[in-house]
Amino acid sequence: MPERQVTVKAEVGLHARPAATFVQTAAKATLEVTVAKAGGQPVNAKSILGVLSLDVRQGDTVVISAEGEGAEELLDRLADIASAP
């Protein structure tokens, strides 16, 4: 399955604005998208509850996965959001 592994650079981690933007972008896609902390259980990337519960901090590595038509483009966008400072 296509995936991206990125390090979260935002000071707040994947919370607040980065989390909301990440989930909104994922939710617009028709594909199934998951996000996990490296080595952890994946959660639905379209769920703000799921993403906030992951508790991704600055410097953590996350793995974003999706499969299907347009997965690569979607993963690139999500990786950009997750890794934005």
Query: How many residues appear in the chain?
Result: 85
80 annotated active-site: no
CB 68 to other proteins: min, Å: 22
DSSP H or E segment with residue 65: strand 61-66
For residue 78, give the nearest of 68, 65, 69, 67 by alpha carbon.
65
For residue 18, give the nearest of 54, 71, 69, 68 by alpha carbon.
54
The two structure tokens encoding residue 79: 């990786």
> CB under 8 A: which stretch of 9-17, 31-39, 64-72, 75-83 binds other proteins?
9-17
Nearer to other proteins, 47 or 83 (CB): 47
Does position 24 bind other proteins by CB under 8 A? yes
Determine which one of 4, 15, 37, 46 is catalytic. Answer: 15
Q: Give me the active site residues, please.
A: 15
Binding site for other proteins (CB under 8 A): 12, 15-17, 19-21, 24, 47-49, 52-53, 55
